[in-house]
Structures are given as structure tokens and as C-alpha cells.
Amino acid sequence: MPEIGVAELAELLSGDISLIDVREPDEYAEARVPGAILIPLETIPERVSDLPGNHLYMICALGGRSLKAAEYLTARGWTCTNVAGGTNGWVEAGYPYDSGPTVD
């Protein structure tokens, strides 16, 4: 499974990428990478039609749940890249993040 770190993700965010956050809503509200789309891990199978594009960057807190989601989607035809270090690594590295509830 292809993997990138948070520094690479920061560079990619200036472009048009699809970043999927597979954490739970309360984790997402606490801190999230700007532009990340919340689709919790357990909802991935029923929300595949909500996935934007074919190349997805997957993120969670540390990288475990996002790897599971990436493996699931890759087996079904998507191209996925896992973000090692996850949102925790993003925040710890000092990158800007969003927080608070979202309106969908």
C-alpha cells in the first residue's frame, strides 16, 4: 500500500486531492486536516458512492484505520494512499488544523 507522511500531505494539499478521514465524528470535530472529508471506517462499505474521484488519500488518528480502509477500497478498484502518522502526526508537526462541528 502506498504511504506518505504528513510533510508530503502538506505539499499535496495545495493541489486538488481527495482526503478521506475515517475516524469517528467526535475525533473529527476535535481536530482535522483542512479539507478532509469525514467517512467513518465502519460506514465505508455503504458510502462508496460518496467517495470523490478514484485516487483517495486516507487518514485517521495514527494510520491503522486508514490503512484498513485503503486496503478495502484498493481491493474494489480505487487507488489509495495511506497517510502515516495520521491527524495526530499532522497536529504534532505544527500544521494548521480545523476543529469544531461541521455542517453537512
* Residue pLDDT, tens place only, 30-43: 999 999 999 999 99
pLDDT in tens, 2-32: 999 999 999 999 889 999 999 999 999 999 9
3-state secondary structure at position 67: helix
CATH number of 3-92: 3.40.250.10
Provide the grid cell at 95: 500544521
DSSP H helices, 1-101, are: 6-12, 25-30, 64-74, 86-92
**Those residues with Cβ within 8 angstroms of residue 47's Cβ, 6 or more apart along the chain or in another chain:** 39
Q: How many whole angstroms separate alpha carbon 78 and alpha carbon 83?
A: 16
Q: Average pLDDT in the 52-74 region?
A: 96
Whole-prediction pTM value?
A: 0.94
